[in-house]
Structure 1
Amino acid sequence: MADKETAAPFPDRPKPKKAAPRSRTLSAEALEQLGARRLAELLMAQAKGDAALARTLRLALAGTDGGGRLATEVEKRLRTIGRSRGFIEWDKVRPLARELDSLREMIAGPLAATDPRAAVAQMRLLLGLADNVFERSDDGSGTLGEVFRQAGAELGRLWAKLPHRDPVTLAGEVLALWDADGYGETDRLLEAAGPALGPEGRAELRRLLEARLAAVPRSRKPDAYESWQGRGQITFRLRDLADLEGDVDAYIAATEAGGRAENFAGDVAERLIAHGRPSEALAWLDRAPGRQESEEIRLTDLRIAALDALGQREEAQALRWGAFRRWLTPQHLRPYLRGLPDFDDMEAEDRAMAHALAHPDRNLALSFLVGWPKLEAANRLVRAHHGEMDGRDYGRIRSAAEALAERYPAAATLLHRILAEDVLRRASSRQYPYAVRDVRACASLASLLPAEPGLEDHNVFLARLKHEHGRKVGFWALLDGQG
């Protein structure tokens, strides 16, 4: 018989610890393991204090009883919302949007699967709430608008599920919904309704719109609001219909019929290029008025695309170089360099960097050089011209400072100082936290600054700030960590 030492050859070995239970990630699969009864109890407990959840559960239960009861429950809730007249406070907008979206999903899903006609009726009812809801709320976030635009698109898709639908009648429905649209809720309706309308419905819609257009006299003041309300809105719908059918000539006809067609020259040119008609696109671009910079860039891009399509390579390259020189746009410089013969591109890139360094818009030049990237050139620009930079251009200057900090701490410091001093000069108290952030960034770079004439060390910089802006107590309190 073995003694105790023999029976336990490793008496001092510690016993292994039990593994701690792994935490479960909350998921549908994990919750399934609780079982139906326990889940039901948890939901009922939560629903007692959550009216929105209680309504969702009632709708889900109604869906198990067939389309009839579900349609009744959905309609009841929609009509309750429609009868409401109180103002919807800002913190109630998102919950209402979530509820409306949940109703939309219930209509487009379970109800449409069992009763498409009831689904169409309820989606129409939901869409009809738009005026009431928007008039009682401030949808600054666009949350409610997105829900209603989705509902408009969903209605168009639901029409395709209707058995024995009449495309001609649907065309009249589309027009009626457009007429009632006060907030853009039908923006996506036509495209979604395309399959349901089919060729016959689209032809009828065109006929109805053209009949309306013929009945509206041309205004003597084509820029007047009344002109837009009349011919402008009708031709806007005709252009949408032309896009749906892929008919560029119909798009052009609608554009011409609306008046001031040159305002839409870029849109026409874009479609002509897509349809392999670049020469006509160029003619339209010649009519386009140059207004905002973003629109001018777009028109230039379209002209380049048309020239490329025509094989006019030199003209396209000249436009790219001219666009870069004017706007310092990388999207023009890169294809320009790619289109040059070998080794010529290196010389051209050097010319481009020299042009950027001399560009009168120092902030734009800095942004370009950092983004290209040519950080050494960006450093030279900052050291030579930081006094000409606009500190209100926070996005460009801060991102440049962060990009330069590791290799060029002096340039980064100068940029952070520009931002901080601009805020203090304007006494913009709401932006004091940003100014504090920039001053602290200067402090973090202070030990890396070279000792050179004209470059303040950090303590001298702080002393100057205190002398010039000592009365801005809010800023100093934040900087000292007291705010």
Structure 2
Amino acid sequence: MTSKTTLNAKNLAALGADRLADLVLELAKGNAGAKRRLRLELASEAGSDDVAREIRKRLGTIARSQSFIDWQGRNAFAADLDMQRRAIVTQVGSLDPAEAFDLIWRFVALANGIYERCDDSTGKVQSVFHEACEDLIDLAEVAAPDPLALADQLLEALADDDYGHYPTLISGLAPILGSEGLQRLKAGIATSEFNLSDNYALRMALEQIADVEGDADAYIAQQSDQARKAPQVAAEIARRLLEAGRIEDAWVAINAPDEKDRGWIPYEWEATRISVMQAMGQTEAARDFMWTCYARSLNPGHLRAWLGGLPDFEDIEAETRAMEHALGFESFTTSLHFLITWPAIEQAAVLITNRAAEIDGHHYELLGPASDALEDRHPLAATLLKRGLIDFALQNSRVKRYRHAARHLRECKNLAVRIDDFAQFETHEAYLDGLKQTHGQKTSFWGAGA
């Protein structure tokens, strides 16, 4: 039986309305966010007009504010924004979609000013605005604003959009805009006083319109000659031409980047080039390119595609070849990541014991999970990764990592009893003695339970 002191709706309701009201007021003292939530709930009882009035007042206050929101106030501010967003959608939208659409539009318009005065390094505030953009599209479907008026509204907003929120709305709003609204928007951009080469939002809007209309040439027209030689842009252009059935044009586009000056080649460019080659009937050439791409980067997507085109039974021998290539890959870290995620745990253990000197303890986000994955069947390999994490933390005096390093040392002790042969590596006792000799003065590490 649930205790009467358990915090749940039933037990709280038993306190009675008056007692609960007193408690809520007491808890809301000094909490501006809680007070705003209570006012919204009270306004909701009076009707959507009162809720809208409260929200509009709050949005106006936010728009006028110039104070900087640091990391300490960011979470509370993001929560306040999200509360306003949800109230627009649920409390106003359910009764007055047109009013809710106007409010969510005003809400999204706050983004520019807020980003300029907010430390949003975690992306919490940005995520609220991304959700608001989705809400705007949903509310537009219900409110059904006039297409031409919506186009004019978008045009005005795009001119001052420094963060690219409004162009991304175009594809979602396309059914409401219709052909007439899209043409109005496109014409407005073309005749605007802005230099499109300097205005990212307007240029992106034209790209969005081109995609909605399925006009590959219009999309290409927004890209400069220099941009078309960038692998990422070349892939975007080639993909659109391929979808339009213009295979030869797609081949020219995908090969626009200079072979000698491609630098870092994104997976999207490689994958699109493979798709174009296959569309041209160059099956074997496409397969050869898959292997070349895998061999250069150890990208599992390319390897799966390459193995997938092989007859039955041949894929086992081919995968063995691929794993051998990974074991000798130049970057130990890249190889380990590939083998752990493929997964090829046996080969990962071989890699670690063969190339232990290359373990880079800086990559805790890889070495930690990898050591956990190896513990059951390969305790020595798991130990070597944990030692890499410990050594990096101590050698570089990463004090914030000492607590984790101490935990890894305890884990190494537990694993040691399962290792029959340390081979050329130090036993746990010898490794521990070495740590004490070299880092014995680092009391914060030893005090963390190492």
Where on the TM-score scale, by shorter chain, does this alignment land: which range? 0.7 to 0.9
Provide the rounded CA distance (Å) in 1 between the counterparts of 2:423 and 2:226.
Answer: 63
Range 59-68 or range 434-443, more displaced: 59-68
Residue aligning to 1:270: 239
Contact 2:28-2:35 at 8 Å conserved across structures: yes
Provide the rounded CA distance (Å) in 1 between the counterparts of 2:351 and 2:132.
Answer: 52
Residue aligning to 2:65: 84
Provide the rounded CA distance (Å) in 2 between the counterparts of 1:274 and 1:205.
Answer: 25
Contact 1:159-1:196 at 8 Å conserved across structures: yes
Contact 1:307-1:315 at 8 Å conserved across structures: yes
The amino acid of 1:252's aligned partner reads I
The amino acid of 1:238's aligned partner reads L
Determine which of 190, 195, 202 is the counterpart of 2:170: 190
Say which one has the larger Rg. Answer: 1
Range 62-71 or range 385-394, more displaced: 62-71
Provide the rounded CA distance (Å) in 2 between the counterparts of 1:413 and 1:99.
Answer: 47
Contact 1:167-1:200 at 8 Å conserved across structures: yes
- Shift of the 259–448 alpha-carbon distance from structure 1 to 2, 3 Å rule, reads closer
- Shift of the 80–311 alpha-carbon distance from structure 1 to 2, 3 Å rule, reads same
Residue aligning to 1:17: none
TM-score (norm 2): 0.86
Residue aligning to 2:284: 314
Q: Structure 1 residue 44: deviation in Å?
A: 5.1
Q: 2:320 aligned with 1:340, yes or no?
A: no
Residue aligning to 1:129: 110
Provide the rounded CA distance (Å) in 1 between the counterparts of 2:184 and 2:339.
Answer: 55
Contact 2:290-2:306 at 8 Å conserved across structures: yes
The amino acid of 1:136's aligned partner reads R
Describe how 1:283-294 pairs up with structure 2 within 5 A.
283-288=252-257, 291=262, 293=264
Q: Structure 1 residue 265: deviation in Å?
A: 0.9
Kindly provide the CA deviation profile for residues 347-393 of structure 1, in whole angstroms up to 9, marking residues without a partner as x.
Answer: 22222222222222223223333333333333332222211332323
Q: 2:210 aligned with 1:242, yes or no?
A: yes
**CA RMSD, 1 decimal:** 3.2
Determine which of 120, 124, 135 is the counterpart of 1:143: 124
Provide structure 1 residue ranges, at least 5 long, that are not aligned to the other structure.
1-19, 217-226
The amino acid of 1:324's aligned partner reads Y
Q: 2:378 aligned with 1:398, yes or no?
A: no
Determine which of 445, 448, 461 is the counterpart of 2:431: 461
Provide the rounded CA distance (Å) in 2 between the counterparts of 1:177 and 1:268.
Answer: 27
Provide the rounded CA distance (Å) in 1 between the counterparts of 2:273 and 2:5.
Answer: 58
Alignment coverage as a number of residue pairs: 446
- Shift of the 360–131 alpha-carbon distance from structure 1 to 2, 3 Å rule, reads closer
- Shift of the 413–69 alpha-carbon distance from structure 1 to 2, 3 Å rule, reads closer
Q: 2:38 aligned with 1:57, yes or no?
A: yes
Contact 1:149-1:184 at 8 Å conserved across structures: no
Determine which of 436, 440, 449 is the counterpart of 1:470: 440
Q: Structure 1 residue 238: deviation in Å?
A: 0.6
Provide the rounded CA distance (Å) in 2 between the counterparts of 1:35 and 1:477.
Answer: 52
Range 365-374 or range 352-361, more displaced: 365-374
Kindly provide the CA deviation profile for residues 172-216 of structure 1, in whole angstroms up to 9, marking residues without a partner as x.
Answer: 210111122234443543233323321111001111222348x74
- Shift of the 105–362 alpha-carbon distance from structure 1 to 2, 3 Å rule, reads closer
- Shift of the 182–359 alpha-carbon distance from structure 1 to 2, 3 Å rule, reads closer
Provide the rounded CA distance (Å) in 1 between the counterparts of 2:133 and 2:339.
Answer: 45
Provide the rounded CA distance (Å) in 2 between the counterparts of 1:162 and 1:338.
Answer: 48
Provide the rounded CA distance (Å) in 1 between the counterparts of 2:398 and 2:8.
Answer: 47
